[in-house]
Each structure stands twice: as structure tokens, then as C-alpha cells.
Amino acid sequence: MRKIEIFDTTLRDGEQSAGVNLNTIEKLEIAKQLERLGVDVIEAGFPAASRGDLEAVKLIADTIKNSSVTGLARANKGDIDAAWEALKGSAEPRIHVFIATSPIHREYKLKMTQDEVVERAVEAVKYAKEKFAKVQFSAEDACRTEPEFLVRVAEAVIDAGATVVNIPDTVGYITPKEIKELFSYLTSNIKNLDKAILSAHCHDDLGMATANSLAAIEGGAGQVEGTINGIGERAGNVALEEVAVALHIRNDFYQATTGMKLNEIKRTSNLVSKLTGMIVPANKAVIGDNAFAHESGIHQDGVLKEKTTYEIITPELIGVSSNKLVLGKHSGRHAFKNKAIELGFELVEDKLNEAFKTFKDLADKKKEITDEDLFSILADKQTEATDVSQYALTSIQVQYGTENIPTATIAAVLPDGSQVTEAATGSGSVEAIYNTIERIIDGPVKLLDYKINSVSGGRDALAEVYVRIRFQESEISGRGTAQDVLEASARAYLNAVNRILSLKAQQKEKAHI
């Protein structure tokens, strides 16, 4: 069995998804879960992009010990220096340097010749190698680059010290047959490939990212790059869970495996979905809610007689738990803490106490508390900002009737600690709530997106609301969870506003340093 390295870029390429804004705490929580999942490399961000990104990468690099942490850098000294500042404290300092190689990028973006691209790439890799033990080089838009030139670039950067050469399908253009042939060609023609491995990074613009990644493995790729749930720019990246499970189920064909703990897949998927606000489609391969559902009578009959008639992946393989009652209103704090640890959360004492109180309040209202409910409560508390100077919802009341104008009355605590009560109307209940909140906060807010999702089944299920807003010239997302959808809507809106205020405060503080 060949070991395929798994390079996760959820925190870098995945965060580039439209509408996704993760704060440092959320990034760290995802990184911890990726470590538990067993990915080999975590690309934590692009340190040179901003001071905030650099500090987030540094925190992750200093925390994670069982996965290698890396950061993206363009082929210039400034980016490499920023990456070193962020990553030098990691268990295995590693950098990911890139420059475009395709004719269209050379001509229109870089305005460089082949010789100039090779020279820049070699200079960058040599400089990076002076600092980093592991250097990965990416030939951006490699799959639209002349194969002969790719060989030349690869040999040059390997000689300069690169230990991984990434061949990305940056725009999701290539087909499975073509990428297998390309990797086979590179494997056969790169003379010094014994000193490095080839990596595949496939985008899903034509819906072929998983097929292309598996074909690249057939062609000789030793590493696959992607994201959890397949999130990323445009149509996203390859979904790593699909690659890992495909290699496991069809090991007879691929003769390859990964080091991923497959029973952590569902938990990782749920965390990424919750914190990014990107809901997983029910029919999504491997992790969708319908992945193990059988509607057809023929299918149901077959599965009841023998699961393997229609089920090639068991729910247990990816960590899907039964939706059973796990804790109740009489459960104590010790049992709650043990369940939190079982679900992958290690909250500090204050946060654990807050989460336990929220759980007890919910247990008084909800007959059954499921793993999904607890996961949602714990994730909210684990990633909740600790700033005291924020808006806090005290109470909400909404009046609605088909013959009446919807009216919302909201009491809240302001950042200065004072309390205020406001009311406003709207064409619907949610609009009335948001019009009221606009009266409470300082400045107009524009709602760009609104999504609502049920945490679990049943009429008493928790509601999760995701919003994306523009406030004080910034766009950001927010989320709120409550048993009532209107309360969840209000909490999501205030969460987004508070995230912007926190971001502005951090920027102001850094400006004074």
C-alpha cells in the first residue's frame, strides 16, 4: 500500500470561499480538529496577506504538534520572511511557495519569459530553504502549462531544495485521463524526482475534482491537496473526505491509503460547516445527510436483508453517530464535561460553565438532547469572542399576525455596559427584528445573505441562522443558534456586528503598536 500524504487547505483556499470570514479562534478550532482527523499538512493561511492572517498562522503553528503547519507565499523574499515569522515556532517549519507557469499567466499576468519564471522560482526556493526544513513549490495553473516546461521547472526547484512539487489544476480545466497522463509523464521525465514527491491540487469547476485527484494518484502523485466539504474559491476544491474514503473502499484498485482517521470525518465536516456557514447539501457524497438514506422500497428491502446490497460505506466508518438521547435535564456537570471531551471540545472553565448552563436551559425546553445539539452549543461557546465591549441580546419579543404589521421589541446591553430597549416594524418578523437592531447599534447595516438550518430533526429542533452583512465598510458573516428561529436570527445579526467591532478594535490596537 502506497501512503498518500493529505494536505489540507481549508483555512487558506477554503476560507477564500465567498462570504466566509473566520476569526482566529475559529481557525484554531478547525486546525485542532484537522489534527485529530490526522491530515499530514495544514495550510493555515497566507501570512503576507495581512498582520491578522500572520498572527492566526503563528498561533496555529505554535499550537499544532501532530500535523505539519504551512503557509502560502509568493515567490518573493517579503512573503517568505512573513511566512518564517509566522511558522518558525512550529514542530516542522514548512513553506508553500508558488509562481504561475502557464503561457496565459506568463504573458498576461506576470509578463515574464520561461527563463525568467524559472529564475524567480529557483531564487525563491533557495531563499526559503535557508529558513525552512520543508519547501513545497507550486506551479500555478500547471495543468495548462507545457509539460516539457513543467519538467524543466520541477527539476530546477528540486535542485534548489524543494521537497514537494505541486501540480495544481488551478481553474478546474483538466480531465481525469489528461491528468493521469500528465503525472505519468512527469514521473517518468523528472530526473531528480527521487528527492521530492508530486502533489495534486484540483479545483471542481467542471465537477471533476475528486476524479482528477484519484487519477493523479494513479499517475504517480504522492500527495493530494484539498479542503473539508470541498469548500474554496468558485466551485471549490476537491473534498478530502471523498478522496480518503474512495482510497479506503477501493484499496483493491488504487493500492493506496492515507493516514486520516476516517471516523473523525463527520465531526470535522460539521465543525467546518458550522463555523463557515456553508451548509453541506443533503446529497453530498460521503457526508451528506442522505448519504445513508434509502427511500426506494427495493433498496430498503435489500439493505434490511444485507447492508452491502446498496451500502458501500457504513455510517460508522465516517463517525456518524445514532441520533440517540445522550444527556438529559438531570445530567450533571461531570457527565456534560465528559461528553464535551468525547465530542472533541476542551473548553476552559468559564466557557464550560456557560455551555453547561445553556445545555440545562435547553434540556428544560427540549425533550431529547442529541449529539448534534451538544455539538452546536459547544462549538458556539468554544469560538465565542471574549470581548466585553460588545452588544448582547437581553430579550426579544415579536408581534405578528396576518392582519397586523410585524413589530419587534428588543432589549440589549451596549458595548459601554448600558441597557437599551428599541422597537421597529417590518414587512416580516425577521425584517422587523433587523430594523430594531439597526436602531440599537451605531450605523446602518446591509444584509447580504440569510440562511436558516435545522440542527437536528423534530419540531423542537435547534435553529441555526447564518447571515452575511456589510457594516462600517466591512463585510462579514455571523451565526446564531436558538430553539426559536427569530431569536436565532437576532443572535446571528448581532454576532456579525460584534465580529466587525472586534476586528476594528484589533486593527486599531495594532496601529498603535
Q: What is the mean pLDDT of residues 396-411?
A: 95
- One fold for both 2-276 and 392-512? no
- pLDDT per position as a tens digit, 71-96: 999 999 999 999 999 999 999 999 99
Which residues lie across from 43 on neighbouring strands?
70
Higher pLDDT, 277 or 256: 256
pLDDT value at residue 287: 94
Q: pLDDT at residue 512 above 60? A: no
Q: What is the mean pLDDT of residues 206-211?
A: 98
pLDDT class of 345 with cuts at 50, 70, 90:
confident
Q: Are 128 and 138 in contact (CB under 8 A)?
A: no
pLDDT value at residue 329: 76
Q: pLDDT at residue 385 above 70? A: no
User: What is the length of the chain?
Assistant: 513
Alpha helix positions (H), 169-287: 176-189, 209-219, 240-249, 251-254, 265-276
Alpha helix positions (H), 88-223: 103-105, 114-129, 147-160, 176-189, 209-219
Q: pLDDT at residue 298 above 60? A: no
pLDDT value at residue 299: 52
Nearest alpha-carbon partner for 64 in 30, 95, 97: 30
Looking from the CA of 113 toward its CB, the CA atoms found within 13 Å total: 3
CA distances to 119, 127, 227, 416 from 8, rounded to whole Å, are 29, 25, 5, 41
Higher pLDDT, 455 or 39: 39
CA distances to 30, 379, 381 from 503, rounded to whole Å, are 19, 20, 19
At residue 450, the 3 state secondary structure works out as strand
pLDDT value at residue 312: 86
- pTM to 2 decimal places: 0.90
CATH superfamily of this structure's domain 2-276: Aldolase class I (3.20.20.70)
DSSP for 375-405, please give it.
HHHHHHHHT----SSS-EEEEEEEE--TTS-
Q: What is the mean pLDDT of residues 48-69?
A: 95
pLDDT value at residue 500: 86
Q: What is the mean pLDDT of residues 2-11?
A: 98
pLDDT value at residue 389: 67
pLDDT value at residue 334: 87
Q: What interhelical angle do 240-249 and 265-276 show, nearest 10?
A: 170
Q: pLDDT at residue 205 above 80? A: yes
pLDDT value at residue 3: 98
pLDDT value at residue 371: 84
C-alpha cell at 129: 530553504
C-alpha cell at 245: 474514503
At residue 90, the 3 state secondary structure works out as coil
According to DSSP, residue 130 is labeled T
Torsion of CA 73, 227, 44, 140, to 10 degrees: 0
How many other β-carbons are positioned within 10 Å of the β-carbon of residue 301? 12
Q: Are 424 and 435 in contact (CB under 8 A)?
A: yes
pLDDT value at residue 302: 60
Distance CA 39, CA 259 (A): 7
392-512: CATH topology: Double Stranded RNA Binding Domain (3.30.160)
Q: pLDDT at residue 21 above 70? A: yes
In the chain, where the domains are located = 2-276, 295-320, 333-382, 392-512
pLDDT value at residue 233: 93
- pLDDT per position as a tens digit, 213-225: 999 999 999 999 9
- pLDDT per position as a tens digit, 351-365: 889 889 988 888 888
Gyration radius of the chain's alpha carbons:
25
**Average pLDDT value for the chain:** 91
Query: Mind spelling out the 3-state secondary structure of 144-156?
Result: HCCHHHHHHHHHH
Q: Which amino acid is at 169?
A: D
Beta-strand pair 94-100/134-140: parallel
- pLDDT per position as a tens digit, 441-451: 977 899 999 99
pLDDT class of 474 with cuts at 50, 70, 90:
confident
Distance CA 322, CA 146 (A): 51
Q: Are 494 and 482 in contact (CB under 8 A)?
A: no
The C-alpha angle 422, 465, 508, rounded to 5 degrees, equals 70
pLDDT value at residue 511: 57
Q: pLDDT at residue 35 above 80? A: yes
Query: Mind spelling out the 3-state secondary structure of 290-357?
Result: CCCCCCCHHHHHHHHHCHHHCCCCCHHHHCCCCCCCCECCCCCHHHHHHHHHHCCCCCCHHHHHHHHH
- pLDDT per position as a tens digit, 107-156: 999 999 999 999 999 999 999 999 999 999 999 999 999 999 999 999 99
Q: pLDDT at residue 103 above 60? A: yes
Distance CA 429, CA 398 (A): 7
